[in-house]
Amino acid sequence: MEKQLEQYFDALWPICRSITGNGLRKSFEILQEIIPFDLTEVPTATSVLDWKIPKEWNINDAYIITPEGNKIAEFKKNNLHVINYSMPINKAMTWEELEPHLHTLPNKPNAIPYLTSYYKETWGFCLTHNEWLQLPKEGNYHVVIDTSLSDGALTYGQYVLKGTSDEEILFSSYLCHPSMANNELSGPLALVFLYQELSKIENRFYTYRFVLAPETIGIIAFLAQHGQALKSKIKAGYVLTCCGDKGKITYQKSKRTDTLADEMMQHFLNTKYKNFTVRDFRVGGSDERQYCSPGYNFPVGTIMRTPYKIYPEYHTSLDDKSIIDFTALKEIVHLLLDVCKGFEMNHLIEPGQLYGEPMLGKRNLYPEKGGAGIMSEDLMFLLSMITMSEIQHSPLEIANRLEANILDLDKALQIALREGLVKKMQSKKDGI
């Protein structure tokens, strides 16, 4: 998987994406080689909840010619050089006129900052502070930004992987930044490769919805069109962001903090990983803000490694392939796949008979010779499943009580169901 992740990373890396435009569509076209996204185009000026879809932005080129005739801040060399959504300009100007439109990071003098201006028409360039210090203050500069802002559409994608139940597990990430690695490409790559692995599982119970959209406005548009219908369907969900660096896994809980999404993720972190962080919901993050916003309040948490705004390369040109660990990215895919398997086996159960412990020997489920020290782990799990199912109605509850991983109980659960030692409950229990 690491090789494929890297191949798709390399294909997506050069594309200048934004919240609208052809770069976004080209990126979807590449990812559709893995997952058959259904794409929705939301026209400019469409009202989506409290927002409106902005004009579509596309860019051909951008650069500055210095008084000495040098070309700097070239978009074609690094697409972070131009402020995303800059309006077009082709004009000669003095340093005094140009300087307010130049942006640097004095505390990171070798980094190009990433800036946007989606909802206010302006223009500007980003460059390293070291380069800015060398620019002449006399003479005329020539500034070119070859962009268009016109009526068009915002594009988002989703794919619904059907199960036998209408209850859904949601996975969501964003696609809207230019060439940045961890903050842009790690989430979508984890999402589509999770789909690839999950689609191989037969007889799925849950329906899995994969959503990929421009951050904030894209998910707002998605919720405006689908949010009400999903309120009765979403069982749990996760936003994927910043999944590819070498830091430890971080899970941010849903706003409600006590959902099955939170319980299942923390279960796998506790039973399979030694080095991780769990933190409470906060408002200054990614699209979990929209899923957990008033009126929706979906049970959606966030999975990442080093969180946004914390890793030092965040929103700069330093966020490049050099900080990506494709083995670490694959680990996120496998963690989420395990979580899905946990959901799949976490049916509500109850004892298969009203009174007493059932005899396992006559079912050929107990060792021929009794005595101390012979009980296998699977047998212990089976007995626990039978005994505890009266008061703890899900395998996850039983696994937590045993301090075991839920997937290790799967063999015992299947035997118990097959032999009628436990049975699936017909009615739902709150919180499960």
At 184-203, the pLDDT tens digits run: 999 999 999 999 999 999 99
Can you give the pLDDT at residue 369? Answer: 57
Can you give the pLDDT at residue 431? Answer: 38
Between the two ends of the chain, the Cα-to-Cα distance in Å is: 33
In order, the DSSP letters of 238-301 are EEE-S-SSSSPEEEE--TTS-SHHHHHHHHHHHHH-SSEEEE---SSSSTHHHHTSTTT---EE
Q: Across the strands, what pairs with 149?
A: 57
> Hey, how many other C-beta atoms are within 10 angstroms of the C-beta on 117?
15
Taking 50 as the pLDDT cut, the residues of the chain under it are 427-432
- Measuring CA to CA, which residue among 243, 245, 242 is closest to residue 322? 245
Instruction: Please state the pTM of the whole predicted model.
Output: 0.93
Helix, strand, or coil (residue 77): coil
In sequence order, which ranges of 65-185 are alpha helices (DSSP H)?
95-98, 129-133
Whole-number Cα distances in Å, 240 to 5, 77, 362, 408, 409: 15, 29, 49, 26, 28
Compute the Cα dihedral for 312, 12, 76, 157 and give only its sign: negative
Question: If DSSP states are collapsed to H, E and C, what string results for 308-357?
Answer: CCCCCCCCECCCCHHHCCHHHHHHHHHHHHHHHHHHHHCCCEEECCCCCC
Residues in contact with 413: Cβ distance below 8 Å, sequence separation at least 6, in sequence order: 345, 349, 385, 395, 422
Separation CA 164–CA 158 (nearest Å): 19
Can you give the pLDDT at residue 283? Answer: 86
56-150 placed in CATH 3.40.50.740? no
CATH class of 2-53+153-345: alpha beta
In sequence order, which ranges of 67-171 are alpha helices (DSSP H)?
95-98, 129-133
Can you give the pLDDT at residue 368? Answer: 62
Compute the Cα dihedral for 189, 192, 198, 199 and give only its sign: negative
Say how many residues make up the chain: 432
Residues in contact with 18: Cβ distance below 8 Å, sequence separation at least 6, in sequence order: 24, 57, 84, 85, 116, 176, 178, 214
**Helices (H) and strands (E) in the chain — how many of each?**
12, 18
